[in-house]
Structure 1
Amino acid sequence: MIKKSIALALATMIACAHATDSKAAALSPTQIIDSAPAEDWRFVAPENMLVLTLPTGQVLMEMNTRLTPAHHHRLTELAAKHFYKDLSMYRFVEGFVAQGGAGEETTQVPTLKQEFVKHTDKRLALDIVVNEQDGYAARSGFLDGFAVAQNAQGTQTWQTHCIGALGMARGNEIDSGTSEFYVVIGHAPRYLDRNITVFGRVLAGMEHLQRLQRPGSTDKPFNKITDMVLASQLPVEQQPQVKVMRTDSDSFAALVEARKNRPESWFLTTPNYIDTCAMQVPTITGG
């Protein structure tokens, strides 16, 4: 019995030593990002990037061309006309959303058919699956740099309401969206998935949305939008340069694993899990 106890203790010590060595050898999320090769990054196309200019600075947003092409087309048209110039971010709900556009005014913008879900005849392969059975869908992960979810067959795919998600507001009618956009600024309201079209995400500048005046403020004009245009409308020298880690890359796969089980010595316990909405895609501006 004593010999067995000694053997068990030694085995435990060896296993712990191996685990410690493995943890020490693993790269941290920061190290993975810093060491990612050039081919694991992509530059955001200027024709897909919205530049929302607020009094405190710019918010850069990428539109999802694969899942929501009609919304991409609508925002392209509106941005080209400077539709949002001098309108406002008229709705702010703490920890929820910031919404902008013409508000209750008649905009003469035709309604748009919803794109809640992308339907495909065959399974649409995700770049990476982060969660199986995430509570709101059969699976969730990333596609083209966007957090998405799917049905079990992979024939229905939609962008999720993670923080920074860019969506099109609507009324009670399903196809009632026109031009009123919103950005999720707080905890992910995933219960809205498949009820509203999410057509993009914030790349940079969330701090400017968080600094908007709250309801009840006497400041005038109230959260004025200086303008919102496509990056491609700006002179070449003024177009923001934004690169995003490819979500189909080895670096991003390694980053997901490092976020599930943080290798830094500070962490005593690791869950071997990360919520898809907590998995931020590394983004670098000006590089």
Structure 2
Amino acid sequence: MKHLLVTAVAAASLILPASAEEPAPIPSPGEIAAAAPAGDWVAIAPSDLLVMELAPDAKGKPRRVVIQLMPAPFSQGWIGNIRKLAAAHWWDGTSVNRVQDNYVAQWGDATEKKVLPADLVTVPEQDYTVPAGQLVIHETPVRGATPSPHKPRGDGYAEFTRFSGGWPVAYDHGREWPLHCYGAVGVGRNMSPDTGSGAELYAVIGHAPRHLDRNIAVVGRVISGIENLSSLPRGTGALGFYEDEKERVAIASIRIATELPSADQPKFEYLSTESDSFVRYADARENRRDPFFIKPAGGADICNIPVPVRPVAAK
């Protein structure tokens, strides 16, 4: 019996490969980001975070939306206005008044009667774009990192797109601009030459509406709480506006994070787009080789490579 058992084990060893010889599992994009060393992550300054508190939901659950504002030089005229509006607590008591399916959730003063701060500036249309290479990068260089841009990407709306300083941008004829990817925050406006003051804002909650690029100012991106906007009931009026004021979702407050008590200030960091970890992450988004996928796509639209952002635990 003992001889038979040894023979059976030996036979099985010929059929089943030794675990040491099995190929290592191919990591998913999320696993690559999660494994990135601490030095590849960049802290987001609280002064660049806009914190929106919506009225609690029907079950009394708080609803917070955190927006990271664009870095210089993009959209700085509008962002200056937004900082003034937040400091004046202008949005308190306003509402989310438009939710259009596969498009945007928009907020501001639905009555259009609330007096704006007197020192807001009028921003010209030319500021939708900036001269190429002007982006101010606040990232600490990562040793051994591939210089940005890692590689220009083909694009249907521009000569090419790239990542720089943690943001997706597009280039054409010597000018660059930020993109309308999912979660992007833009400035509502009327017909040209109006460019909007920044008092009326929207967040993209559907497929990236890249046709809006260079036509409306992008001022930031939602980095937390997008579900509190994307899950709202769709408006039944034209363009998704709520027809009944009772449908609007009240905004309790919007503040720059530094105005909040220290213990209540949200803290986030993003994966440096100048790091080798991001290079591997972007490649994995373009070519899914992890077990679920059958055929790598061989490429990806830049909006399908969202820059990883994660909360920082309080110490």
2:269 to 243, 246, 259: 243
Give identity over the alignment, percent.
Answer: 33
Match of 1:172 among 157, 175, 191: 191
How far is 1:133 from its partner? Answer: 2.8
Q: 262-271 or 58-67, which moves further after superposition?
A: 262-271
Q: Which structure 2 segments of 5+ residues have no match?
A: 1-20, 58-62, 138-146, 237-241
| TM-superposed deviation, 1:184 | 0.6
Aligned to 2:201: 181
Q: CA deviation at 1:130?
A: 5.8
Whichever residue aligns with residue 263 of structure 2, its letter is E
Cα pair distance change 1:141/1:223, threshold 3 Å? same
1:82 aligns with 2:89: yes
Q: Who is 1:284 aligned against?
A: 310
Q: Post-superposition shift, 1:124?
A: 9.2
Question: Of the two, which has the highest radius of gyration?
Answer: 2
SS in 2 for 1:201: strand
| Post-superposition offset of 1:272 | 1.6
CA–CA separation in structure 1 for the residues paired with 2:233 and 2:86: 24
Residue aligning to 1:119: 131
- Summarize the alignment of residues 89-238 of structure 1 with structure 2, pairs less than 5 Å apart: 89-109=96-116, 110=120, 112-113=122-123, 114=125, 115-120=127-132, 127-128=148-149, 132-151=153-172, 155-178=174-197, 179-216=199-236, 220=246, 222-238=248-264
Q: Does structure 2 conserve the Cα–Cα contact (< 8 Å) formed by 1:129 and 1:140?
A: no
C-alpha distance 183-190 of structure 1, shift in aligned 2 (>3 A)? same
The amino acid of 2:181's aligned partner reads: C
Report the TM-score, using the length of structure 1 for normalisation.
0.84
Aligned to 2:246, what secondary structure does the other structure show?
A: coil
Question: Which stretch shifts more, 262-271 or 248-257?
Answer: 262-271
Is the contact between residue 131 and residue 275 of structure 1 (CA under 8 Å) also seen in structure 2?
Answer: no
Contact 2:285–2:304 (8 Å) recurs in 1: no
SS in 1 for 2:97: strand
- Counterparts of 1:118 and 1:129, CA distance in 2: 21
| TM-score calculated relative to the size of structure 2 | 0.77
SS of structure 1 residue aligned to 2:83: helix
- 2:70 is matched with 64
Deviates more, 1:45-54 or 1:119-128: 119-128
Q: What is the aligned partner in structure 2 of residue 7 from structure 1?
A: none
Instruction: Tell whether the 8 Å contact from 1:111 to 1:176 is kept in structure 2 after alignment.
Output: no
Hey, what's the Cα distance between the residues in 1 that align with 2:150 and 2:194? 30
Deviates more, 1:120-129 or 1:33-42: 120-129
Q: Which amino acid aligns with 2:159?
A: A
Distance 1:244 1:220, change over 3 A: same
2: CA distance, partners of 1:219 / 1:92? 13
In the alignment, the residues of structure 1 paired with residue 276 and residue 207 of structure 2 have an alpha-carbon distance, to the nearest angstrom, of 28
- Tell whether the 8 Å contact from 2:69 to 2:219 is kept in structure 1 after alignment: yes
2:296 to 262, 266, 270: 270
Question: Matches of 1:137 and 1:124 in 2, distance apart?
Answer: 21
Q: 1:253, CA displacement in angstroms? A: 0.9
Alignment length (residue pairs): 265
Who is 2:34 aligned against? 34
Distance 2:151 2:100 in 1: 29
Runs (4+) of structure 1 moved beyond 6 Å? 121-126
Distance in 1 (alpha carbons) for counterparts of 2:288 and 2:247: 46
